[in-house]
Amino acid sequence: MLIALLHLKLKELSRKHNVEKAKKLMKMARDRNVKLVVLPSLFPVGNTFEIYSNEKKLRSMVKNLAEKIPGNNTDILINLAMEGEMHVIAGPLLEQAGPKIFLTSLVLSPQGEIIGKYRKVIISDKDIKLGISGGKEPVYTLLDKRYGIISEDDLYSPEISRILSIFGAQAVIGTMKAMANNQEMLKHLAIVRSIENGIPYLINGEVIEDEEGEIKGSSPTFITTPDNMIYKEAEESDTILTVESEVLINNKGKRTNMAMLDSVIGGLCKNYKKQKMENSKKSVDADEED
């Protein structure tokens, strides 16, 4: 299966402009017989969480963009999948689920069906301040291969990748929000994860520009493998980075080791609970000092 990562220059909060650009590139991808397209974080408006420090403005953005799934943004993705006649992995989107807001990635079929949904597990300090909640568990999707799905800060967590690997993921597909600096660090992280787990990582970044066309932040779009490290990389914005899954992925699947899985999950949960207790204690101590 031919996979395409769309490395888009997104104009912040400009849906129409960004959707038209994606349509153009997806038509080119379809002409190349691409069967799976990956779209950037918070498409079609672009993820600016790590670019700006104005928390009030960002909270307003989260509140205005968060919606139930399906919703307006989901409809846009469904139409893109159906028009392109291909699978689409997109997200995360801001999902309103009851009182909580999640950063949720979707997997759509060429018929426009939502066949997979993943709520980002590892959330940043900025996410927490903006009122975003973390998901409960890693997720994979079964297409021609078994693909683990990650988004953004999940790349910082070796535990998430390890669980996906133990579950038999033959490759990991993820998106990364735009950053104001330290973009090269993301490549090093993905290389480490790829070597640790013996599988390729396909990371879809983005470029964010403001209304005047000034670049405010970016993240790279690239593919890593355990043997080649950086296997491929998008050199320019508004381009398609393609790879054939049969060439990229070793055909030998991985068998799930349940004993090891229990150990990994148990350790992850234990560390999370311990950290949560420590943070609560610090918060109480700080209140008492005040």
CATH number at residue 41: 3.60.110.10
Q: What is the mean pLDDT of the chain?
A: 89
Let me know if residue 10 belongs to a domain.
Answer: yes
DSSP code for 192: H
Q: Angle at which helices 72-84 and 15-31 pack, to 10 degrees?
A: 20
Q: Is residue 96 domain-resident?
A: yes
Q: Is 244 within a domain? A: yes
Does pLDDT of 281 surpass 80? no
Give the pLDDT confidence score for residue 277 in this predicted structure. 59
Range of the domain at 225: 2-253
Residue 290 within a domain: no
**Pairwise CA distance, residues 123 & 132, whole Å:** 8
Q: Specify if 273 maps to a domain.
A: no
C-alpha to C-alpha distance for 157 and 271, rounded to whole angstroms: 12
How far CA 158 is from CA of 46, 155, 277, in Å, comes to: 26, 7, 22
Distance CA 29, CA 39 (A): 12
Buried b / exposed e over 116-138, threshold 16 CB at 10 Å, is bbbbbbbbbebbeebebbbbeeb
When divided into structural domains, the chain yields a total of 1
Instruction: Give the model's confidence band at 216: pLDDT under 50 very low, under 70 low, under 90 confident, else very high.
Output: very high
**In this structure, is residue 260 part of a structural domain?**
no
- The pTM of the full predicted model, rounded to 2 decimals, is 0.86
Banded model confidence at residue 284, pLDDT cuts 50, 70, 90? low
Classify residue 264: in a domain, yes or no. no
Residue 145 falls inside a structural domain: yes
Mean pLDDT throughout 130-145?
95
pLDDT value of position 53: 84
